[in-house]
Structure formats: C-alpha cells, structure tokens
Amino acid sequence: MNKRRAKKIIKAVAEDIFYDAYVMNFMLDDKHEEELANLMAAIIDWQNDNIKKLSHIDGKNDPKLVKAYFRSVNAKAKEEINKIASRLSELSEEIK
C-alpha cells in the first residue's frame, strides 16, 4: 500500500468514527457532552498524528526499515482507534 492510499484510509476511518460520535452527541444526555467532545478531539488528533507519521518516514532509503515502520504505524493506529471505538460503543449502550 502506498502513502497516498494509506492517508485516504486514515481519513475515511476518522470521518466515519467522528460522524458516529457527532450523531451520538444528539442522542445522549448532557452529562456525556464533555466526554464526547474529548473523544471527537481524540479522533481528530489520531488522524493528524497518523498522517504526519506517514508523511515523515524513518529510514526512507532502506526498504526493510520502511516496511517495518509502516507495520508499526499500522499496528499502533489500529490499537488507538479501537480504544476510541470501544469507548464510543460503551457510550452508545447508554442511549435510551
């Protein structure tokens, strides 16, 4: 996968989860408003951080280092977004 495609995927995932959080904001009580705002900010930060990581690759000239770098970025990105998604899922269970 090239950088351009990876960036598009990151943006699409962030948009989908952000949209879910935005819609959930109208369905939940006001007591969850701050937590949802924090999660929405975390989604934007996740997107920006991962796009930065893809733009500035370590070991640009060594294919093995590049491949290892992409794998580590991919694994860390999945882990972070899964945490955010699981928290949104927990909040969605509180919808009346």
The parent domain of residue 11 ranges over 3-92
The CA distances from residue 6 to 47, 72, 73, 77, 88, in Å, are: 11, 14, 11, 11, 24
> Structural domain tally of the chain?
1
Instruction: For residues 80 and 60, give the distance between their C-alpha atoms in angstroms, rounded to a whole number.
Output: 25
Q: What is the DSSP letter of 95?
A: -
Residue 83, token pair as written in the block: 């945490």
Judged against a pLDDT cut of 70, whether residue 82 lies above it is answered with yes
- Over residues 19-72, the pLDDT tens digits come to 999 999 888 888 888 999 999 999 999 999 999 988 888 777 888 888 888 889
Q: What is the pLDDT of residue 66?
A: 85
Instruction: For residues 29 and 48, give the distance between their C-alpha atoms in angstroms, rounded to a whole number.
Output: 29
**Structure confidence at residue 96 as a pLDDT band (50, 70, 90):** low
Angle 8-13-18 from CA coordinates, rounded to 5°: 125
